[in-house]
A and B are shown apart, each in its own frame.
Chain A
Amino acid sequence: MQMARMLTPHTYAPSRTLRRFCVVVFAISFGVQAHAQDWVHIESSNGVDRIRIAAAGFKPLSSDPATTGYKHLFDLTLYSDLNSAGIFDLVSQSLAPMSEPGTPAEMAVAQWSAAPASAAMVAFGSLNVIGGNIVVDGWLYDTHNTVDPKVLGQQYSEPASDESTRHIAHEFADEIILRLGGGLPGIAETHIFYVNEQGGNKEIWEMDYDGQEQHQITRLGTITLSPRISPDGNRLAFASLGHDGWNIRVFSMLLGRMVSFPAIGGTNLSPAWSSDGRQIAFSSSRSGDPEIYIGDEAGNNLRRITAYVGPDVSPVWNPRTNSQLAWISGRTGLPQLYIMDSDGTNVQRMTDGGYATSPSWSPNGQFIAFAWDRKYGPGVPGGQDIYVMEVATRKWIQLTHDTGRCDFPSWSPDGRHIVFESGSGKSSDIWTMLADGTGRHKLTTNGTGTMPNWSWR
């Protein structure tokens, strides 16, 4: 009996322990799930109201089908540019008056300032094809200023084509954004470079900021990664796999061919231009361990600025000062985001855990966007999303939620937009969004776009 009594606790112990273990595991898993659903919301607009603007349809001055076609393309592009600028409250086309004023004389301002349009600004103009050239007259009027409503008046003329029609619309939109956006130039004329996979090879492609005009840049027949356009837009640096391993290579946009860049041995990845275009930082494993190196624009005068066990990769410059770099280091285990001065001193760790990759420093130097899997580990809920951290305070916000694996953020030159890669499995596409995570839309659709990089202007 005593033996039985003694044995009883032992025979019960595993099941009770198992039950307790299960309870703890469930509690932890539910706790983690509940925590993973926490959303941090920060208003980035500072409470500043957006300007309500209307884009009237441009008036075609001839009735031939070509002009009508250009007019529709122009209207569509201008509307899209103003809508995605991030600083306007655009009057819906269903609320705008039906009229298409082609000249200031035809413009009835009161019609646009009254409800339901209630526009504070209205863009209008005319479009014509004269002698093979498309001629566009565009105006921007302040509807509240009855004395002198004209804010902007421009005329454009280019050889008629779909491409030039889009280009004129981009130029006009950028003029409007420059006038009304507090001095920050628009991004409608900027480009996005990205990696596109075709037939087992990965080549660098280029497209307009809105996803139009996608075309191939490099034809190396190999795998190329991490394209980075120089600040002047003349040189494109990237990492490419050749017969001597991974090396930094440079493509001249002016010459349309590769230009020399020294191969220093080891695996060399993720080049980054300083904003003055005079220095280039990249990671190299020539010494065995991936470390950050800085050289001049031609790849000479290399100096190593990290010396710590563990990989140091993905450097980016602070474009405001060029005196700091952010990069990803695995010196404490999982890769984390760090910043340091450009001489390798003053190292600061920015992320407190998880799995951080692909930093991109905002043009005004205030923020770093990066991809972060905050709950990295087997069986842990959560995924890789785009985050933005304020460098001075290390406060961060999460920009993407539940949209699959997001990576490779890159800031637009106006600091209002971020382009990034999002996908699942082997498929990935390029997306843009405003820097507060709203206004997200897809730029590529074939599932092969990756590693986008926004041009500097």
Chain B
Amino acid sequence: MATRIHIAASPNTGSTNLAGSFFLHVLFAGSIVLFAWMHHALGNTWGDTTQTTGAIQASMVDAIPLPATAPPTDNVLATDNPSQNPAPLTPATVAKPRPNEILIQNKVKQPTKIAERATPSILHPQSVAPSNRIPAGEAPGLQIAVSTVQLATGTSSMSVPASDFGARYAYYVNGINHTVSNNWWQQEADPRASNGHSVTLLFDVLRDGTPTNVRVEKASGSISLDLSARHALQRVEGFGPLPDTYRGDRITVEYTFDYQLH
């Protein structure tokens, strides 16, 4: 069984299209009018003449107070656009004295007396004859009893009192100096209070190299500097065993921490 589908053209197609077009145009024009009315009634009113009551109000004026134009001058350097610089000052005229006038001298004022001060004595640099002595700590090599280390802030120097330990085992003395100076944290000392001061510690080094019996021999006057020196010794675990050929069971070391800001 076959199914037939018949599609017939409508006889009044032309008039329907015309009416629809007319209806659409009217609708379009109406929507424009409606939008204009709504915009006028409800939208913003920028640019119209109605008074606004907002916080900011602008009203039209007849004239704007412009700056007055400068009057023409006789100055040859003047231009049509005068600068804002002030006019040069006219020198004040001073009346000349008449020939018969006699000048009255002012009363002579006595200078006030000032007590004499003692002239400060100036210390002239004295020339010092060069010494032929080799300063301790600056001698080359290791054969020195006193060892000095130059640090970023100041110096540290040490000596082993008594015996000839420093001369015989200079390398060991140097080792102590390296270790202590490396463990001296100068930032622990207050720069203002410590500058120019030095503290001297005494301590013993046992046979196995352990430092012990740390005591302050000469305090610096700066508590923080004294503490930083003590802390340096506390950080050291050992200096290494005393030299094999050394017969004693301990050595006593005198160590000076000198704080100098450069």
Contact = CB atoms under 8 A, between A and B. Distances in A.
B185 interface: yes
Interface string A155-182: 0000000000000000000000011111
14 contacts: A47-B151, A48-B177, A51-B142, A121-B171, A145-B168, A145-B170, A150-B245, A180-B175, A182-B175, A182-B176, A183-B236, A183-B238, A184-B179, A364-B183
Contacts, number: 81
Contacts of A47: 149-151
Given A48-B182, A178-B240, 10 more contacts: A46-B150, A48-B181, A144-B142, A145-B170, A148-B245, A179-B240, A179-B241, A180-B175, A183-B238, A183-B239
B171 A51 contact: yes
Contacts of B235: 364
Interface string A358-370: 0000001010000
A51 B172 CA distance: 11
A215 to B, nearest CB: 32
B141 A183 contact: no
B142 A366 contact: no
Contact of B143 (A144, A153, A393): A144
Interface of A: 46-48, 51, 87, 120-121, 142, 144-145, 147-148, 150-153, 178-184, 364, 366, 392-393
Contact of A179 (B171, B188, B236, B238): B171
Contacts of A120: 141-142, 171
A87 B187 CA distance: 24
B149 A48 contact: yes
Contacts of B241: 178-179
B190 interface: no
B240 A181 contact: yes
Interface of B: 141-143, 149-152, 168-172, 174-179, 181-183, 185, 187-188, 209, 235-241, 243-245
Nearest to A365: B235
B185 A366 contact: yes
A46 B187 contact: no
**Chain A residues touching B, majority SS:** loop
B152 A180 contact: no
Contacts of A364: 183, 235
Contact of B187 (A144, A153, A392): A392
B171 A151 contact: yes
Q: Which of A51, A121, A153 has the most CB of B within 10 A?
A: A51
Contacts of B187: 392-393
Nearest to B151: A46
Given A120-B142, A182-B240, A366-B185, A51 B170 contact: no
A181 B235 CA distance: 16
A182 B150 contact: no
A225 B245 CA distance: 49
B149 A180 contact: no
Contacts of A153: 244
User: Nearest 6 CB-CB pairs, A to B?
Assistant: A182-B179, A182-B175, A183-B240, A183-B239, A47-B150, A183-B238
A302 to B, nearest CB: 32
A441 B170 CA distance: 32
A142 B171 contact: yes
B175 A181 contact: yes
Given A144-B141, A144-B142, A145-B168, A183 B185 contact: no
A150 B245 CA distance: 8
A180 B173 CA distance: 10
Given A182-B178, A183-B175, A392 B185 contact: yes
A151 to B, nearest CB: 7
A65 B239 CA distance: 41
B224 to A, nearest CB: 13
Nearest to B208: A183
Q: Which of A87, A151, A183, A364 has the most CB of B within 10 A?
A: A183
B240 A46 contact: no
Contacts of B168: 145, 147-148
Given A48-B178, A182-B176, A144 B170 contact: yes
A180 B175 CA distance: 6
A262 to B, nearest CB: 35
B149 A142 contact: no
Nearest to B178: A182
Given A150-B245, A182-B176, A142 B181 contact: no
Contacts of B243: 151, 179
Contacts of B172: 179
Nearest to B143: A144
Contacts of A51: 142, 171, 174
Contacts of A393: 187
A153 B245 CA distance: 11
Q: Which of A48, A145, A153, A182 has the most CB of B within 10 A?
A: A182
A91 to B, nearest CB: 15
A180 B171 CA distance: 6
A136 B76 CA distance: 108
Given A145-B143, A182-B240, A46 B174 contact: no
A119 B139 CA distance: 16
A48 B149 CA distance: 6
A140 to B, nearest CB: 9
Contacts of B170: 142, 144-145
A152 B243 CA distance: 8
B138 to A, nearest CB: 11
A133 B106 CA distance: 117
Contacts of B143: 144-145
